[in-house]
Each structure stands twice: as C-alpha cells, then as structure tokens.
Amino acid sequence: MGSLPNESIYFEKHDIIARTRDPSGILYGPEKAARARQNPGPYYRENRECQVSDELSASKRMSDDASAEPITKEAARLFAGRIWAELDMHRRRSLAEQAGGFARRFLQERGASGRVFLTAPIGDEIDLLSVMSALSCDLFLPVIRDSSMDFVAYREGQIIVPLRPGRFQIPEPQGTHIAVPDAGDLMFVPSLACNPHRFRLGRGGGFFDRYFAEHAQAKKCQKVSAMPVELIEIHFPEQSHDVKLDE
C-alpha cells in the first residue's frame, strides 16, 4: 500500500489496514459537520446527515471505550452512503486494485484450488469484477431469487457465461452451476462499513446474512471487504445474524 497511503482495504489477517488519514482533513469531527451544514450534500435529509456526522464524530472518539453508546445502524448507513457518494473514481480504482493484489496473493498461497466469490458492480460501485477477471481463478457471482441467494459460476476454466440484469438490476450470470464457498475460497462481501469488532454493515436487505445462516460451510471461506479508511471501525452495534469479516 505504500503508493496508496490514503486508501484502505479491510484485511486484518494480512495486517494491511492503512490507518492513515486523508490529508484534506476528512476526519468528520465538529468542523466537518459545521462545513456540511453550510454546504449540504446529496444525502442530507432535513439536516439528518449533520446529526449523523456529529454522532459519528463522538462514536469514533470513543470507539475503544466499551461504555460508549454506539450510533444506530440507520445513522451509520446514512453516513456511509454519503462517504461512498463522495468517493472519487481515483480512490475507487485504488480500492479495486488493492483488492486485486490481495486476491492474487491469496490465490498464490493456495495454488490453483482457490475460488473467488464476489458481486458484480452496479452504477458507480467499485468494479471488483474487472480486476478479478484478470486473475487465473474461477469466479462466482450471486443470483437473487425472491428472498434467497445462490452463487452461480460466471467463469470456470475457459468458460465464461453471459451476464444479464437481475433483481435490483445487478448483473447476474445466466449459468446453472451453483457453488457454495468453502475453506480455501475467498469472498468479497459487499459492505458499507464495519465496526471495531469487524462486523459488516450492509444495505439492510439481509441477503448475505441469510446466506451464511443457511450455508454453514460458507462460513469457512475467507470473508473480506473493500472500503475507504473513513468507514473502518464505525461504532454501530452488531446483531447475532450479522456477518463478521475475517482477521
């Protein structure tokens, strides 16, 4: 990460978390909240976002204090949504490249047996699929059916199946081979943020939470997520069904 000091990818097991701070001073303290009030961004909802910034500032200062009161998941999602919306393309590409580097090292350690499970991007989300497609490994993407989700092969060996918009317009493979991740596999779990205990914050749909609850085998895979440094260790409460990212 030496060339990208202001980006972060949340992979604690390999000890490559960048705990640096953006030189622009994006620390989300009282000064940031005051500037936000003067120039509200697209995620403001009747000044709710200012309140979120203030709550988060206190939360980050007390993240190591067991007695500190966490912010709500709703507040954390609003705050994280604004951070992601303001993330420029350079930083998005940096995160994707770092994710690709991590996956490459992960696969090298496991030889040719490792598989990568991830989600295709939609809109301006981080494009991990393009980066992972450059690696020599099988790739699996989620397919959503009603309230359930399966991972279907997108690329196995030299065979690549076409993608089409699925539920929520997320690209899904049109293949039929369903696989469940296991030990030795890598999964990039989409996350808005994570808390000090490494529990992820999703968008609230519960698809990944239910998937891991229904597939005990999948819990053995290496679960990681890419996110900017501002959204690591946000002090929100985890619940028993939440997915915990691996060390």
How far is residue 133's CA from residue 139's CA, in Å, rounded to a whole number? 8
| Per-residue pLDDT at 122 | 85
Residue 182 and residue 205 in contact, taking contact as beta carbons nearer than 8 Å: no
Residue 27 and residue 21 in contact, taking contact as beta carbons nearer than 8 Å: yes
Comparison of pLDDT for 30 and 88, the residue scoring more: 88
What is the CA angle 70-199-106, rounded to 5? 150
Residue 1 has pLDDT above 90, yes or no: no
How far is residue 228's CA from residue 94's CA, in Å, rounded to a whole number? 10
Give the residue from 132, 153, 216, 211 showing the smallest Cα distance to 182: 216
Residue 218 and residue 211 in contact, taking contact as beta carbons nearer than 8 Å: yes
Residue 223 has pLDDT above 90, yes or no: yes
* Per-residue pLDDT tens over the stretch 153-210: 999 998 999 999 998 889 999 999 999 999 999 999 999 999 999 999 998 888 999 9
Average pLDDT, the chain: 77
